[in-house]
Amino acid sequence: MPTTPATATHSSSNGTAEAIMLELVDENGTTIGTAEKLAAHQAPGQLHRAFSVFLFDEQGRLLLQRRALGKYHSPGVWSNTCCGHPYPGESPFAAAARRTYEELGISPSLLAEAGTVRYNHPDPASGLVEQEFNHLFVGMAQAEVKPDPEEVGETAFVTAAELEKRHAEGPFSAWFMTVLDAARPAIRELTGPSAGW
């Protein structure tokens, strides 16, 4: 992983995993502190900064990922291209680009901000809570996807109509429709009216 000022403090020289810290925010998205990742997701959840990425191919199809079965939160469900949390002090844009590369082996092109959305989604299966102030990004996937199997079980490019059918069949992450709907204006601007988003 490339080392940046934000990621340098999250790498251990002896190879042991350190606690992953998240930025806690207020209702306006202003940083108010930090919390350990799992603690921030335990009920009732602590409001923290997150990001969601939606990448499309040249045909206007959305790249979905099925989360790996080993994930502690929402394993084995379909979700948007990439999502995660910036490290404290890391910009959401940098975090979105970093995690997309770490999870899918691609660097997004034309990555653009697509607004923010705040939500509270409990996950009935795990009991964890997504209490997030989420920064949305849209862009293009113009290279071959090379998923990290520890992060991603499988990927698929889908049209708007195919997504509707897949979503009805499930399972999808609890936050998926919230972030997709919030990003739709930017998605339509990127993909054009004929893509149907």
| 86 class by beta-carbon count within 10 Å (0-12 exposed, 13-18 middle, 19+ buried) | buried
Active site residues: 83, 132
Q: What element of type H or E holds 164? A: helix 160-169
Residue at 52: amino acid letter = S
DSSP string covering 42-107, please? BTT---EEEEEEEEE-TT--EEEEEEPTT-SSSTT-EE-SEEE-PPTT--HHHHHHHHHHHHHS--
Count H helices and E strands in the chain, helices first: 5, 9
